[in-house]
A and B are shown apart, each in its own frame.
Chain A
Amino acid sequence: MSTLDTRELAGGLFLIATGGLFSGYALAKYSIGTVTKMGPGMVPVALGALLVVFGIVVAVGALTKGRNTSEIRVAVPLIILGSVLVFGLLIAPFGLFPAIIGCVLVATLAEGKVRPRFSLVLAGVLCVLAWLVFVVALQLAVPLIDWPF
């Protein structure tokens, strides 16, 4: 077993980078002010710096302990996140039904098998359910199908 936990190290670096970005951007763009009259930059700069400190602690801790065996998934997260992306891209121009169908078709791929019939039936059922819940019951003003052109 190695003595360096790379994942933990990456986590620490992630914190350092995020804190640094927030702090640096606020430092460059917003006024800091004084303690009695704080400017909009004071709190973000302080919090960002704090995050950098925590990141350093996590990263240093990673150098001394070696473990972590859980798998990192690549395909599943991309597919699930992709389904949300598809919904977000389709909802405004095309309406609710195309967005739901697109989202479900992509999301069902995460199972690792392509089953068009299952996906389409599920998409159809969810369209009907969404129509009943959101349009009929909650009366949201969402167009079911839209055509932007």
Chain B
Amino acid sequence: MDLVANLYLGLETALSPINLAYCLLGVFVGTLIGVLPGIGALAAISMLFPFTYHLEPTTALIMLAGIYYGTAYGGSTASILLNIPGTTSSAVTCLDGYPMAQQGRAGVALAMTAIASFFGGVFGILVLSVFTPVVASWALSFGSADYFALMVLGLVAASTVSDGSPIKGLAMVVLGMLVATIGMDPQSGTARFTFGSLSLLDGISIGALAMGLFGVAEIITSVRSSSNDSIKARDVSLRSLMPTRDDWRRFWMPALRASTIGSFFGALPGTGPTVAAFVSYGVEKRVATDPSRFGKGAVEGVVAPEAANNAADQTAFIPTLSLGVPGSATMALMIGAMMVHGIHPGPNLVTDHPDLFWGLVMSFWVGNLMLVVLNLPLIGLWVRLLTVPYKMLYPAILVMVCIGAYSVHFKAFDVMVVLGFGILGYAMRIFSMPAAPLLLGFVLGPMIEQHFRRAMVLARGDFTAIIGRPISGTVLVITLLILVLSIYASMRRRPADPAAPPAPHIEDED
């Protein structure tokens, strides 16, 4: 059977020594970054992005993906032990994880999250391997107009669904698209916005942009404010990790429900692991026979969000790999990593590069297994890591960002690009403008431009032809609905603003 052969090919790719090594490196770094509060998955992937230039594309993706889902495992550790979410998607885990730790059940909470994460991850991988080829074969008939519409939907959903002003999100998408026009115009060969600089002719490198926006700007806001000097490492012994029979009984149904919810929200553009975690926690609270237990150390309260965010991490790859349309900034970086190596993700990816697709999928299994092994016995190491002072950490991150940017082309110019986007990134934080939509616009901008031009040529300049096509028309109507709804929601939110409690900050991550 085809599937068996594909799975075998994928397993062979994923288990090659070099891919295994980079998968391990990825999940290790991912857990590390996830454990450390103040650095999210996006910043971590940006920082390691330059090194993927020197790797095979499959290996590069395996490593980047490992970092991505690894942070979801690590993020829960800080949530449970410190009540500080290591990543935004594990913020909900604090609600019941920290009370469990206070009751002396930190070990059980950590074990349950690791197992729930594994469960959710595996569930998400299954959904991913079944649906990606289906969506891809269905998408083979898509024309340029349809892709144009899908990409517009992706951008609008990703920039307006999260909290914050939808106008600012959209403005950042447009700014990202403008930044992407810098360099040689592929259609006409004209140099745009280069001001005679040869270095700018190749365009802005996605790695330098991401490192400036997420790495440097992140450090500027965290220095002196995120102090962890007072943290005392809580000792977690291996024995204390053992869940009781009652814990197991409370595990299966929430994990299954949350994985389903997570898989759904992960695949949708604009929503992601964070939304999935919040929704699944809410659902568990609603279906529970005794909702009052939640917030006081209910096992379901850590199982559900962790299963959901890991499932969502995996299914986020469905639109990315089958359509080439990323649903989040992190996925945009994945697409960037593929394009650096000349691979254009789209419906043909599964058939043209089966080793890449199935190798990546199988590496998810391997990586999730590694994560359980890394997280359970080595939990003591991660706990101690939480006590590394930030004053030692941030210079190290800065040095790594600089060397990383420089190492791509061995040009000091790229370091200066990081500097430029560091300045922009900080300015955007002052104006409370989200950075993730800018990256999405930057990656999707050139593709949108290309598809739009092609669609216009095919339709002889008649824009109504795009709206008239069944697929692109439907997608554009949905886009319009999302736009109107989110603007309406933000208008209603505004008058109550000053009194409103600080909403969870969920725009940057995923």
Contact = CB atoms under 8 A, between A and B. Distances in A.
Contact of A91 (B391, B415, B432, B460): B415
B395 A51 contact: no
Contacts of B410: 141-142
- Chain A interface residue bracket vs B: 35 or more
Contact of A51 (B174, B224, B394): B174
Interface in A27-66: 30, 34-40, 43-44, 47-48, 50-51, 54-55, 57-58, 61, 65
Contacts of B435: none
Nearest to B223: A110
Nearest to A37: B457
Interface string B389-414: 00110111011011100110011100
B377 interface: no
B456 A87 contact: no
B399 A100 contact: yes
A107 B187 CA distance: 43
B224 A112 contact: yes
Contact of B171 (A54, A83, A104): A54
Given A84-B401, A88-B416, A111 B224 contact: yes
Interface string B248-267: 00000000000000000000
A34 B190 CA distance: 16
A47 B412 contact: no
Nearest to B185: A40
Given A88-B416, A100-B399, A130-B403, A39 B188 contact: yes
A40 B395 contact: no
A84 B463 CA distance: 46
B370 interface: no
Given A54-B171, A58-B171, A76-B224, A84 B402 contact: yes
Contact of B456 (A36, A48, A54, A84): A36
Given A10-B431, A130-B403, A43 B412 contact: no
Nearest to B215: A84
A78 to B, nearest CB: 9
Nearest to B460: A36
A25 B403 contact: no
A77 B217 CA distance: 8
Contact of B395 (A73, A103, A140): A103
B398 A65 contact: no
A21 to B, nearest CB: 10
B415 A58 contact: no
Interface in A70-96: 72-73, 76-77, 80-81, 83-85, 87-89, 91-92, 96
Contact of A138 (B54, B223, B401): B54
A103 B431 contact: no
Contact of B461 (A34, A57, A126): A34
B431 A110 contact: no
B369 interface: no
Contacts of A43: 177, 181, 449
B418 interface: yes
B426 interface: yes
Contacts of A15: 171, 175
Interface in B133-175: 165, 167-168, 170-171, 174-175
Given A7-B431, A80-B216, A107-B394, A67 B223 contact: no
Interface of A: 7-8, 10-11, 14-15, 18-19, 22, 25-26, 30, 34-40, 43-44, 47-48, 50-51, 54-55, 57-58, 61, 65, 67-68, 72-73, 76-77, 80-81, 83-85, 87-89, 91-92, 96, 99-100, 103-104, 107-108, 110-112, 122-123, 126, 129-130, 134, 138, 140-142
24 contacts: A8-B431, A14-B427, A25-B193, A37-B457, A40-B188, A40-B192, A54-B168, A57-B167, A76-B224, A80-B220, A81-B216, A81-B426, A84-B419, A87-B399, A88-B412, A89-B412, A91-B402, A91-B412, A104-B398, A107-B395, A111-B224, A126-B399, A130-B399, A130-B403
Given A26-B192, A57-B167, 16 more contacts: A14-B431, A15-B175, A37-B457, A54-B174, A55-B171, A65-B497, A76-B224, A80-B219, A81-B216, A85-B416, A87-B415, A91-B402, A110-B223, A126-B395, A134-B403, A138-B407
